[in-house]
Structure 1
Amino acid sequence: MSISTIESSLILHGIKVNRQQFIHQLIQVFLVGCMIGLTRTVLPGLASTEFGLAQQQFVLLTTFVVVFGLVKASMNLFAGRLSDRFGRRPVLISGWLVAIPIPFLLYWAPNWYWIVAATVFLGLNQGLSWSMALNSKLDLAKTSQRGLVNGLNEFSGYAAVGIAGLVAASLAVSLGAREALFIMALGVLLVGLLLAVFYVEETKSWSDEHDKQAKILQGQSVIPSQQHVRTFKALFAFASYQSKPLMALNQAGLVEKFVDALIWILLPIYLLAQDLSLVEASAIITIYGVVWGGSQLITGPLSDKVGRKGLIVGGMWVCGLGSYALIHTNTVLGWSIEAAMIGIGMAMLYPTLGAAVADNSLAHERASLLGIYRFWRDFGYAIGALLMGLVAQYTGQIESAFVLVAISMMLSGLLVLVWLPNSKSTNN
């Protein structure tokens, strides 16, 4: 028996059999989610109180999310390719190393541009570390568990986003905004880096085994052949404008980030303008994040059973309606219900989009195609934030940004309905 055959026999796919490493990867996503969550509510509040951004300076206010989206999207584009070449673990660790300046920039920032600089490093951290934690879990799991994997991944990450936002807002009230951001960011950073260095294992061999099994099922040779290896340029073209299913998924990923950008930048400003306290506004936003995260434990595996398309389209439309409803409400209870509604919509579409991309990818190209999808998805932060800022600035009304998001989500869902075939998980 050859050494490669012996190694292959030791590799078993499945969440249960790899549960220890799977849990470590979930913890990584939770901590990465905390890094972005601690900026929710607190940073938009700082924009006015400490950096003198008037409520009507919408374009300048959105700059930190525009920059975050551009950086994270770029990292997503290359992180998958880098992990295919160098492995998942080195890319994960590098994501934590580039996050080191974040707490210090937030604490010592003399002007808004330091905050924008901090979000550059935040985008690097998110693009590298979050991407690798997801790819590693997909490596370890069975192909029939992709929806469940995405559900668990996004539950861990976005529940952390909501929880960290509320904790940061509470600490900001008692300690001060800068002190709260510094303590939380530094603590999360150190824990994430140490756990990645000492407890996370490399999972690329599990991905290679997925590829071998898929080729055997398809009657192909398991020996790599150059004719089956597409360049990254070819993969990008295929995913972006040649494959209608991937085009549908990529545009939906881009547009759904309009909702998250709205919640991140403008909803805190809108709620604070309605005379809510920082903690009250943060609690409403936390409902969105926690419902989004928790519901994915249901919607992720559900998509493995009933298919992806209906959940994606329904989720897009639910989010659109919820975004529009926010500006026609004037009670904390109403805003809380609508935040939960948007969270449910995001839970329907978010893990399902990633699982659907994996369905339409060969195993040896999956990390790269998921990276391309995440590039377009997180590019939506930049496009959405900029468009919302411009619309709100031009009209002089923050409510116009909510209408823009609602219309965009409805139209994007319609494209998915037309372009994406009905499918469940595959064995690729």
Structure 2
Amino acid sequence: MEEAKLGLKENAAQFWLLVLINGFVGAMVGLERSVIPEFAESAFGISGHTALLSFIVAFGLAKSLANLMMGRLATRYTRKQLLLTGWLFALPVPWLLLYADSWGWVIFANLLLGLNQGFAWSATVVMKIDLVGERNRGLAMGINEFAGYLAVGLVAFLAGYIASATGEVTYAFVPGIGFSIAGLLLTVFFLRDTHGHVKMEAAQTTIPLLGSIWKDTTWRHANLGSVTLNGFVNNLNDGMLWGLLPVLLVTKGYSLAEIGLLAGIYPVVWGLGQLVTGRLGDIYCKKQLLTLGMLLQGMAVALLLFSGSYAVLVTALVVLGAGTALVYPNFLSVVAENTHPNQRPQSLGIFRFWRDFGYVAGAVAAGLFSDLFGLEAVLLGTALLTIGAGVLSEVRMCCTKKMLWQSKACAPNLC
């Protein structure tokens, strides 16, 4: 058997295969991002926040629990086996959406989609970290998230276009059949497992084992706990926008094609930006990049209060995408650089559990508080919460790389 080597260049073929596979993972969720409100109303007569709330809560709960399960199961099964499990969950999703005769079947489809995203996306993240080692880890995470979220944005636009051009919303789900089959076949026949790379890094690392993976990742560890909270808030505002942005745009008189385009701007900027921001995390202090990213997100959400202007709306979505791009790959690389290789899948699973539970909190908050206080109040509250999370990362976390401004450096046990 060929000896495992760490590094992006040394594992280029498998790394780029994982990038392609993660693009298909992102494409699966992009199918629904822009057309769910229209689908709910035209096919089932369900309008308003109730349909969106049930849809996003089902997806978010399933994905967050799948993240947690994936971390635990990674100690017993190979990464490739867990990725295959994720694709098996994906196969029925487009068929269920195409032939659903009640909203309950749509909810079931999105439970499966959440399980697919939790297992498959987590597996591709962990496998890329295994392959590249410590050097260029931020770049690797940037490329991973770029591929996934660029696919989300492009397929959101594609789904909106198909629905608008054909006049039949369900046709937007047809490409998902090809995405799920392609991802499964690539994984089965071409992808190799990374257990040899894990053993090699574990033998070389000086990172200490965490005393309690759950407690340290959730809050106790200054860097891990802060990143987990910021991840939760990041996805809270994403879940809120996923549910409310299409509704907001409909009330402003935008067409279905325009909504598809606008819904795609944010994830496309988010995806493209990570090619740069992941690499920045290999050079500059990650906590400062997180602080900047969360502040930009907060300001962008506040700008949505002026969404009556198309130019302001586009600007807000671009800024929101840029802010999310700053934080997303660096969340993952902070977790990776603060955990032992043998504990990393569990810690990443716990982080991703809390991060994606933010979808659920955001959807519930959007549905509940928008009815009580209106969309504008929800947007303002979300903006303030996001800015507060960014300030917390600046106060509590420490730096391991070159600083953009004077700040606290990490002690050896936190590096």
Q: TM over 0.5: same fold? A: yes
Conserved? CA contact 2:210–2:216, under 8 Å = no
Q: Is 1:137 matched up with 2:128?
A: yes
Partner AA of 2:23 in structure 1 = F
In the TM superposition, what is the alpha-carbon distance from 1:60 to its structure 2 partner? 4.5
State whether residues 109 and 115 of structure 1, in contact with CA within 8 Å, keep that contact through their aligned partners in structure 2.
yes
* Partner Cα distance (2:101, 2:230) in 1: 38
Runs of 4+ in structure 1 off by over 6 angstroms are: 425-428
Q: Is the 8 A contact 1:106 1:178 kept in 2?
A: no
Preserved contact between residue 59 and residue 393 of structure 1 (Cα < 8 Å): no
- Is the aligned partner of 1:405 residue 2:382? yes
> 1:367-421 CA distances to partner (integer Å, 9 max, x unpaired)?
11111110110010011111121101212x2222222221210111121111111
1:418 corresponds in structure 2 to 395
State the shift of 1:53 in Å: 2.6
Q: What's the CA shift for 1:59?
A: 4.3
How many residues align structurally?
405
| Residue number in structure 2 paired with 1:337 | 315
Distance 1:249 1:383 in 2: 17
- The CA deviation at 1:285 is 1.8
Alpha-carbon offset, residue 264 of structure 1: 1.7
Match of 1:288 in 2: 266
- Ranges in structure 1 where 5+ consecutive residues have no aligned partner: 1-6, 221-227
- Considering only aligned residues, what root-mean-square deviation do their CA atoms show, in Å? 2.0
Q: Give the conservation status (yes or no) of the 8 Å contact 2:274–2:329.
A: yes
Q: Deviations over 1:149-193 (max 9, x none)?
A: 111011000000000000011111223444423311111111111
Separation (CA, whole Å) in 2 of partners of 1:154 and 1:184: 21
1:387-402 aligned at under 5 Å gives the runs: 387-395=365-373, 397-402=374-379
Q: Give the letter aligned to residue 167 of structure 1.
A: L
Counterpart position of 1:224: none
Q: Is 2:166 the counterpart of 1:175?
A: yes
Give the aligned partner of residue 79 of structure 2. Answer: 88
Matched, 1:205 2:196: yes
1:248 paired with 2:226, answer yes
AA partner of residue 378 (structure 2)? A
Q: Which deviates more, 314-323 or 100-109?
A: 100-109
Name the amino acid aligned to 1:398: L
Are positions 1:99 and 2:76 aligned together? no
Residue equivalent to 1:73: 64
The equivalences for 1:6-405 within 5 A come to 10-55=3-48, 58-215=49-206, 234-395=212-373, 397-405=374-382
Q: What is the DSSP-based 3-state SS (H/G/I as helix, E as strand, rest coil) of the residue aligned with 1:276? A: coil
Structure 2 residue runs without a partner (length 5+): 403-411
Distance 2:336 2:246 in 1: 34
Post-superposition Cα deviations, 1:287-341, rounded to whole Å, max 9, x if no partner, equal 1111111111111110110110111011111111101101213222221111111
* Percentage of identical aligned residues: 34
Question: Displacement, 1:54?
Answer: 3.2
- CA 1:393–1:28 in 2, change beyond 3 Å: closer, same or farther? same
How far apart, in 1, do the equivalents of 2:401 and 2:361 lie? 30
Is the 1:263–1:285 contact (alpha carbons within 8 Å) kept by the matching residues of 2? no
**CA distance in structure 1 between the aligned counterparts of 2:155 and 2:172, rounded to whole angstroms:** 10
Say if 1:245 and 1:74 are closer, same or farther in 2 by CA, change over 3 A.
Answer: same
Q: Distance in 2 between matches of 1:52 and 1:283?
A: 24
Distance in 2, matches of 1:178 and 1:84, equals: 42
| SS of aligned partner of 1:210 | helix
Give the letter aligned to residue 81 of structure 1: R
Q: For structure 1, which segment, 125-134 or 105-114, has the greater mean C-alpha deviation from structure 2 after superposition?
A: 105-114
Q: Which amino acid aligns with 2:40?
A: A
Q: Residue deviations 1:261-297, cap 9 Å, x none?
A: 1332211111122111111111112111111111111
> Equivalents in 2 of 1:253, 1:113: separation in Å?
29
Render the CA deviation track for 1:21-70: whole Å, top value 9, x for unaligned.
00110011100000001111111222233322333xx2443111112111
Higher mean C-alpha deviation, range 402-411 or range 164-173: 402-411
**Partner letter of residue 96 of structure 1?**
W
SS of structure 1 residue aligned to 2:357: helix
CA distances 1:66-89 after superposition (whole Å, capped 9, x unpaired):
121111111111212322321110
Which secondary structure does the structure 1 equivalent of 2:9 belong to? Answer: coil
- Matched letter for residue 93 of structure 1: L
In 2, distance between residues paired with 1:325 and 1:296? Answer: 22
- TM-score normalized by structure 2? 0.93
Q: In 2, distance between residues paired with 1:150 and 1:98?
A: 24
Q: Residue in 2 aligned with 1:225?
A: none
From the superposition, tell whether residues 416 and 158 of structure 1 become closer, same or farther in structure 2 (CA, over 3 Å).
same
Provide the rounded CA distance (Å) in 2 between the counterparts of 1:152 and 1:131.
14
TM-score (norm 1): 0.90
